Structure 1
Amino acid sequence: MKKFILYRRVSTKEQGQSGLGLAAQQRDLNLFLSTYAEEPHEIIGEFTDILSGADDTRPELNKALDLCRKTGATLLVAKLDRLSRKVSFIATLMEDPKVIFRVASIPMASKIELHLYAMLAEQERDFISIRTKAALAEAKANGVKLGGLRPKTEERNKAIQVSADASAQRVAALVRPLKASGKTLREIAEALNTSGVTTPRGSKWSASQVMRTLERLERA
């Protein structure tokens, strides 16, 4: 009988965000088990950490991995970044001969593909950091006062618009070709989610978000 160990991770901030909360992760895990898991199968352990993804010393993950090594069970996570947001950590885990893991959101991905997804996600996070700094610098250069307890609505909106424009440009190379090839908004959203690309708020893409992004790119 195939054995699975379920692992979930959230930070305090992520618990309330769509696509990242514990309930959303459990939904994806359940979908994998009902659709892709070998029958019959057994869940022999469940572990949850509430810590930052940058922290690789997670006690519950360590317990889950130890149980995997002892039992030969497969570790199952909802998304790749629930294991870690670092390529080096994912790569080390892949090299462990006693650890097998699957990702519910990309159930058929090979080791090479998982490594590629991890690399893309890490590059995206680096870009987000650079983009945020650039947006703040541009807003400041345009006279927007940053910080303070009571920023003016107009100034805040300007900073939001600058950030939103930068966010749209970040995914332009992905969404424009898909739209040109005839893909629907929902299909484009699914492609972004499958590739591990998140929205500026770190959540999953929806058709409406893709539409707003395309509209913003057309105005640019």
Structure 2
Amino acid sequence: MRQYVIYTRVSTEDQGKSGLGLQAQERDIDIFLANFSEAPWQITGRYQDVQSGGDNDRPELGKALAVVRKTGAELLVAKLDRLSRKVAFIANLMDDPKVKLRVASMPQADKFQLHIYAALAEQERKFISERTKAALRIAKEKGVKLGGLRDTTLKRNEAIQQKANAEAAKLITVIGPMRDRGKTLTAIAEALNNMGVATSRGGDWTAMQVSRVLARAA
């Protein structure tokens, strides 16, 4: 069975940008698993950092890589820049014989192509850094309290996580027994849909969403 360790990352600057938020990353990963992954597959773990991609020392990424090296699972990220924007960092990971890397948005990319994309991502990081500095200067000139904006973002993220944890705690009472009886993620999703149980966004259940609840409850 193909095993994956999913890693997602956002920074405070990324939160409101289209294509870079957690929802967009999860969407890309869902698409990869549904259309490009070998079946059957299993999610071994989920890890998330709220930190800049320019920082190599990220605690949750370290945990994810430890699981990958121990279990032989593949590290799955939505986009290469969610892993890092530094060429050297990505190159070292790809040279690690115990680390297998898959990028959802580039399902067929080989190591050579990933190196090229890593170089482009590093250039983008430098540009983003200068753009952020310029935006901060403009905000400061307008009298905006930058610390207040950051605190508001962090509080909003904490509220989102607390809500997700609470929902997972309720759902596991239904999903857990079905999983214990050996039902597949797809079968559990179908059962939830048949029972009229809606997801947190009011949509239908998928195997990936069931996997998220199990991982969060664990």
Alignment TM class, shorter chain as reference = 0.5 to 0.7
Relative distance call for 1:95 and 1:35 in structure 2 (3 A) is same
Decide whether the 8 Å contact of 2:2 with 2:73 is kept in 1.
Answer: yes
- Aligned-pair distance for 1:13? 2.0
Percent identical among aligned pairs is 60
- Match of 2:141, SS? coil
Structure 1 portions without partners, runs of 5+? 137-144, 151-220
- In structure 1, the partner of 2:87 is 87
- In structure 2, the partner of 1:43 is 43
- Match of 2:61, SS? helix
For residues 121-132 of structure 1, the aligned pairs below 5 Å read 121-127=121-127
| TM-score normalized with structure 1 length | 0.59
- In structure 2, the partner of 1:120 is 120
Could you tell which deviates more after superposition, 6-15 or 124-133?
124-133
**1:148 aligned residue (121, 141, 146):** 141
For residues 1-220 of structure 1, the aligned pairs below 5 Å read 1-127=1-127, 148-149=141-142
1:149 corresponds to which letter in structure 2?
A: K
2:60 corresponds to which letter in structure 1?
A: E
Quote the Cα distance in structure 1 between the aligned partners of 2:87 and 2:104. 18
**C-alpha offsets along residues 13-33 of structure 1, whole Å, 9 cap, x if unaligned?**
212211011111000000000
Relative distance call for 1:15 and 1:146 in structure 2 (3 A) is closer
- Match of 2:15, SS? helix
- Aligned-pair distance for 1:132? 8.7
Relative distance call for 1:33 and 1:124 in structure 2 (3 A) is same
- Aligned-pair distance for 1:130? 6.6
Relative distance call for 1:58 and 1:128 in structure 2 (3 A) is closer
- Aligned-pair distance for 1:45? 0.5
- In structure 1, the partner of 2:182 is none
Decide whether the 8 Å contact of 2:54 with 2:125 is kept in 1.
Answer: no
- Aligned-pair distance for 1:51? 0.6
Structure 2 portions without partners, runs of 5+? 144-218
- Aligned-pair distance for 1:128? 5.7
1:49 corresponds to which letter in structure 2?
A: D
2:114 corresponds to which letter in structure 1?
A: L
Quote the Cα distance in structure 2 between the aligned partners of 1:22 and 1:60. 15
Length, aligned pairs only: 142
| Regions of 4+ moved over 6 Å | 130-133
1:39 corresponds to which letter in structure 2?
A: A
- Match of 1:14, SS? coil
- In structure 2, the partner of 1:214 is none
- Aligned-pair distance for 1:146? 9.6
1:35 corresponds to which letter in structure 2?
A: N
2:113 corresponds to which letter in structure 1?
A: E
- Match of 2:27, SS? helix
Quote the Cα distance in structure 2 between the aligned partners of 1:131 and 1:148. 16
